[in-house]
Amino acid sequence: MRTKIVAGNWKMNLDVDASKQLAMDISVAIQNLETNNTRIIIAPTATNLYPVFHQPSMDSRVEIAAQNMHQAKNGAFTGEISAEMIHSVGITNVILGHSERRTYFNETDAALAEKVSTALQNNLDAIFCFGEVLEERQSNNHFKVVESQLQNALFHLNDSDWRNIVLAYEPVWAIGTGETASPEQAQEMHAFIRTVIAKKFGNTIAQNVSILYGGSVKPSNAKEIFSQPDVDGGLIGGAALNTADFVALIVAIQ
């Protein structure tokens, strides 16, 4: 059975106190919730990874992810953080290739291929994001675009690497826009992603990898999206900043 995942990407929001508070509020709210086979992940900004993770009495089911890292081991890269640094504060997940990183910080597939490898070498699980922009969907190129993003960034991996990879399909036109892919559009693309992975790495790996949907998931649409057979959870932006909404998404996936 594939692992379900509800992951909150807090982006560049919340100072240290607000981050600690939101993490604690989520912890308390899920206390009596059965979350079998569901991973719960939150991704605070880099400065808040350590204080959030090391709060006493956090629910141990709440995992922390970094939002980005550099591909190099270390060196003269002012302003960047390395996989080793993330791991050294106790964090074991990192989001890579978010569309905001690709768009505003020019992250390329080639750089992402390196980032994924560096993350895995440092015992971080990689939540790898990809997805088409609006023009690509409108010109019916979305399958081609997604296939090449996967090929360029992930096809160098070994079979065993897939144990530590989570895929997050995020159509860029649905991120932060209030616009959501329909459950049918999400399912269609997720099934396609599995066939792309199966062709290269075989059916077992394709069937075992969790594929999250991201793009304006909220309590009102989560149940329908999460109930699609190839959708294993969500990468959540806006709704992850509100305890009640985020917990409603965890409830919706059970």
Residues involved in catalysis: 98, 170
The distance of Cα 6 from the centroid of its chain, to the nearest Å, equals 9
How many chain residues bind ligand PGA (CB under 6 A)? 13
Q: Which stretch binds ligand PGA (CB under 6 A): 131-139, 147-155, 221-229, 235-243?
A: 235-243
| Minimum CB–partner distance for residue 73 and ligand PGA (Å) | 27
Quick note: the x/- pattern for ligand PGA over 171-210, rule CB under 6 A, is: ----xx----------------------------------
Q: Which of 24, 80, 10, 83 is nearest to 55 (CA)?
A: 24
Of the pair 198, 251, the CB lying nearest ligand PGA is at 251
Question: Does residue 235 interact with ligand PGA by CB under 6 A?
Answer: yes
Terminal C-alpha separation, the chain? 14
CA distance 172 to 152: 18
**What angle, 0 to 180 degrees and rounded to 10, lies between the N-to-C axes of helices 219-226 and 243-252?**
20
Q: Please identify, among the stretches 111-119, 158-166, 170-178, 197-205, the one whose residues bind ligand PGA according to the rule CB under 6 A.
A: 170-178
Residue closer to ligand PGA by CB (options 99, 117) is 99
* Neighbouring C-beta atoms of residue 218, cutoff 10 Å: 18
CB atoms within 10 A of CB 166: 25
